[in-house]
Amino acid sequence: NLVALFGPQHGIWGETQDNMIEWEGFRDVRTGLPVYSLYGKTRSPLPEMLENLDCLVIDLPDVGARYYTFVWTMVLCLKACKENKVSCIVLDRPNPINGNMIEGPVLEPEFSSFVGLYPLPIRHGMTIGELALYFNREFGIDCELTVVPMKGWQREMWFENTGLPWIMPSPNMPTPDTAIVYPGMALLEGTNVSEGRGTTRPFEIFGKPGIDPYELVKALKREGLPGVKYRPLYFIPTFNKYQGEICGGAQIYVTDRSTFLPVLTGIAILRTMYHLYPETFKWRDPPYEYEKDKLPIDILLGTDKIRIQIEKGYSLEEISFSWKEQIEDFRTRTRPYLLY
């Protein structure tokens, strides 16, 4: 018998907006079941929510980036189930940006937050079921866990290869193209630059008032990054940062996703705007996703080292070299948990 429903950030229907836009539980009109919010007064199931449950079934999509919070809602559910002697079943879902490519710094424990509770690279290359197995064993959660694997999924698949329809997991993840750029472009949430929320192409369009789009694109082209092009443009967000204001910026186009490096591209954009517009570019102040002290950019990156490297003028090659060894160690540690 189904006795209760639980929903993560963005609501049970994927309807609410980002960053501490909380929602409250309610009773579902169609089923009459209680719907519990795990992004409101609590982010973890409370004991009274788990009463009379034999098993909690987790069926959540992930988008392949550490800071997409559904994975961390799953972790908190595993912990609560362990504490309340409830078993847990995770229904595995595709990683929409494939299961082979891993990129970005591995989170340092002192930068743990709701956009990264445990050490993961930004682009982690795992499915949500594989992550459940990894977290449950490696971090001592020890919940009674069953992962139901997918049929037919292979690590090299992008979402379109699955033949499945794309269902938006949140309002600003409208297409698989958004998921491809998200691991890098979501870093703009840690700045005063619009990441395109309030446009029809969130995370593909970015900018702010006072920017010359042609000057910006010229500087970005000089970085020579693979698999990407930029189009200068102006846009007016309908909500979020700079609502109703004209912004100069660019649209990012992925021309070859097999060579595209979303995290390094996002860092290149941060680096370019920091040095091109030193008077107006700003790191965003906290709070951000319930972290009230550390800079949002640092908890997104999982370290303060990269922000400091940007500020000191390090090259992209120097910055990316800093996570090469971390990635190899992560591959080795997670290999026993891969299902495909």
The model's pLDDT over 281-318, given as tens digits with 9 standing for 90+, comes to: 999 999 999 899 999 999 999 999 999 999 999 999 99
Sole residue written with tokens 């192409």 = 201
pLDDT class for 57, splitting at 50, 70, 90? very high
The pTM score is 0.95
Q: Are residues 144 and 9 in the same domain?
A: yes
Q: Give the structural domain span for 95.
A: 5-165+327-337
Distance of CA 213 to the CA centre of its chain: 27
Say yes or no: 237 and 282 in one domain.
Answer: yes
Dihedral of CA atoms 259, 263, 264, 270 in degrees, nearest 10, equals: 140
> Can you tell me which residue has the tokens 């008077």?
279
Express each pLDDT in 161-176 by its tens digit. 999 999 999 999 999 9
Residues 151 and 275 in one domain: no
Same domain, 260 and 285: yes
Is there a single domain that holds both residue 60 and residue 150? yes
Distance, in Å, from the CA atom of 172 to the CA atom of 236, rounded to the nearest integer, reads: 16
Are 78 and 119 part of one and the same domain? Answer: yes
Question: Are 205 and 71 within one domain?
Answer: no
Burial 39-62 (b: 16+ CB within 10 A, else e): beeebebeeebbeebeebebebbb
